[in-house]
Amino acid sequence: MTASFEDLLPETARALYHRIAVAQAEGRAPSLVAAVVRGGRTVWSGGRGTAAEGTPGDRTQYRVGSITKVFTAVLVLRLREEGLIGLDDPLGRHLPDTGVGEVTIAQLLSHSAGLTAEPPGPWWERTPGELRPGLPDVLGDRPVLHPAGRVHHYSNPGYALLGSLVEHLRGEPWEKVLLQEVLEPLGMTRTGVRPRAPYARGWAVHPWADVMLPEPAEDLGTMAPAGQLWSTAADLSRFAAFLMRGDERVLGAETVAEMRRPAAVPLPGGWDGGYGLGLQLFRRNGRAFCGHTGSLPGYLATLWMSAEDDVAGLVLANVTSGPAVGQTSADLVEIVAQREPRIPEPWQPLPEADPALLELTGPWYWGPTPFALRLLPGRGLELTALAGAGRTSRFRAVQDGVWTGLDGYYLGEKLRAVRRPDGSVSHLDLGTFVFTREPYEASAPVPGGVDQQGWRPAEPGPAR
């Protein structure tokens, strides 16, 4: 048994350890490690079974399979942040001669480009990458199955294309770009394309007997950006903290939040799940999770995060199938979130308050519907519906008297404070909607005008 506890109640730590012990025993995994991240750092880790040099720990390497795709997505979004690409750009504008140049970069990131799930040829995860030396070998003769943008269809070759895009624009191999731009800045010294001791060997466990068979660990070649990486619980904890909070050396908080938003049409019957820009999404027990699963012969991996709770859970195992690592990872998050709810940040007054902004706060009306406008730090604003469910959004100041929506219905929309010639505020213009200080205020430019007789009791019905 090995476990390290920090900043968690003893009963919470024991519940976490019990959960992974059940997963390892019932799933018949040779070894299993797990960790929980809260507040941007690892607060618990534990291991079960035997791997490498005895009981596995948070520095024992495992293959993480498709969690690799999240790293590739981060590299692509860095290209976008630098202005080298746009997410709506067709791939062919930046990576020519692929045969699927009309699909967009966003569609590839969200698995909605309509490409096949797997490359042609023998089972690519168990055969050498030399069998697929280039993109034509990965895509084959018929790489497109569905109309682009119409359906979510998971595609491993799609992420091989994104890795090739990174290489083409950076002029360096994908793994070198990853090392320089993500792994080194985040301090992920035990993550890479090849294993380094101590690492857990991959096994298959017989379905009807407690015996094992070693699995091959192939270099995936051109398919590497879809699933090549080896990592540890300690390193993935750092990565989870980054995906919840951002890091200006890699991607800022707004961009990682963009990764967590749905970007693909859900499958029929799958409205509780989806896919963002490189991240899988699902809801359970009213809680929104994001992250990614991963599997390769001999290995299972899952990283799930609840950004609202600021908690992440991850599980790594060296077995082809058996333990429900995805469910276990989500369970770790819920154990902490339910037993030790997030402590809110202490309230603090704003360091300064511009009188012109204070003038905007308070009640506003969209027609007869009441809203409230609050001032946020950094000259931001928050519009909240006061009559039950409504269109609540936060806004970021972009210039004097103009804000841009950050979330909700008004994401990306412009909010303007329209002033009269004397400088007083006449009304708010939010994406052409007029918000007034009084319901249907007659002096404001309400589209369609306001009845000159004003508010009045109900008119009597027709005579009988």
| In the chain, % of residues over pLDDT 70 | 96
* Top mean-pLDDT range of 52-61, 158-167, 409-418: 158-167
pLDDT, position 391: 85
Whether residue 388 is found in the same domain as residue 332: no
Whether residue 26 is found in the same domain as residue 59: yes
How would residue 115 be classed by pLDDT, with cut points 50, 70 and 90?
very high
pLDDT, position 345: 84
Whether residue 320 is found in the same domain as residue 415: no
Domain membership flag for residue 462: no
| Residue at token pair 């466990």 | 205
pLDDT, position 138: 93
pLDDT at 269 over 90: no
Q: How far apart are CA 316 and CA 61, in angstroms?
A: 9
Whether residue 260 is found in the same domain as residue 381: no
pLDDT at 234 over 80: yes
pLDDT, position 453: 86
Whether residue 21 is found in the same domain as residue 93: yes
Q: How far apart are CA 397 and CA 357, in angstroms?
A: 11
Domain membership flag for residue 348: no
pLDDT at 145 over 60: yes
Q: Which of 328-332, 425-429, 459-463 has the lowest average pLDDT? A: 459-463
Provide the 10 A C-beta neighbour count for residue 458: 5
Domain membership flag for residue 179: yes
Mean pLDDT across the chain: 93
Are 187 and 238 in contact by the 8 Å Cβ rule? The answer is yes
Whether residue 334 is found in the same domain as residue 365: no
Are 318 and 30 in contact by the 8 Å Cβ rule? The answer is yes
Whether residue 311 is found in the same domain as residue 410: no
pLDDT at 462 over 90: no
What is the 3-class SS of 385-437, one letter each residue? ECCCCCCCEEEEEEECCEEEECCHHHCCCEEEEEECCCCCEEEEEECCEEEEC
Domain membership flag for residue 400: yes
User: What is the domain extent for residue 164?
Assistant: 2-339
Domain membership flag for residue 275: yes
The CATH number of whichever domain residue 86 belongs to comes to: 3.40.710.10
Whether residue 83 is found in the same domain as residue 226: yes
Whether residue 24 is found in the same domain as residue 138: yes
Cα–Cα nearest to 60, from 125, 2, 126, 8: 2
Q: Which of 78-87, 88-97, 351-360, 362-371 has the lowest average pLDDT? A: 351-360
pLDDT for 154-207, tens place per residue? 999 999 999 999 999 999 999 999 999 999 999 999 999 999 999 999 999 999
- The whole-number average pLDDT for the span 23-51 is 95
pLDDT, position 270: 62
Give SS3 for 187. coil
| In the chain, % of residues over pLDDT 90 | 82
Are 108 and 139 in contact by the 8 Å Cβ rule? The answer is no
pTM of structure? 0.88
Domain membership flag for residue 448: no
Domain membership flag for residue 82: yes
The count of C-alpha atoms lying within 13 angstroms of the C-alpha of 418, restricted to the half-sphere facing its C-beta, is 17
Whether residue 422 is found in the same domain as residue 314: no
Are 92 and 253 in contact by the 8 Å Cβ rule? The answer is no
- The whole-number average pLDDT for the span 300-315 is 97
Q: Looking at the 3D structure of the chain, how many domains does it have? A: 2
Provide the 10 A C-beta neighbour count for residue 117: 12
Joined together, the tokens standing for residue 417 give 């404070």
pLDDT for 322-364, tens place per residue? 999 999 999 999 999 999 998 888 988 988 888 989 999 999 9
pLDDT, position 212: 95
For residue 230, give Cα distances in angstroms to 115, 176, 182, 184, 190: 26, 15, 14, 15, 8
Q: Domain end: 307, 339, 371, which one?
A: 339
- The whole-number average pLDDT for the span 309-313 is 97
Q: Which of 171-180, 260-269, 353-362, 391-400 has the lowest average pLDDT? A: 260-269
pLDDT, position 407: 86
Whether residue 100 is found in the same domain as residue 194: yes
Whether residue 299 is found in the same domain as residue 366: no
pLDDT, position 6: 54
Domain membership flag for residue 73: yes
pLDDT at 232 over 70: yes
Q: How far apart are CA 407 and CA 392, in angstroms?
A: 8
Q: Domain end: 339, 363, 383, which one?
A: 339
Higher pLDDT, 400 or 413: 413
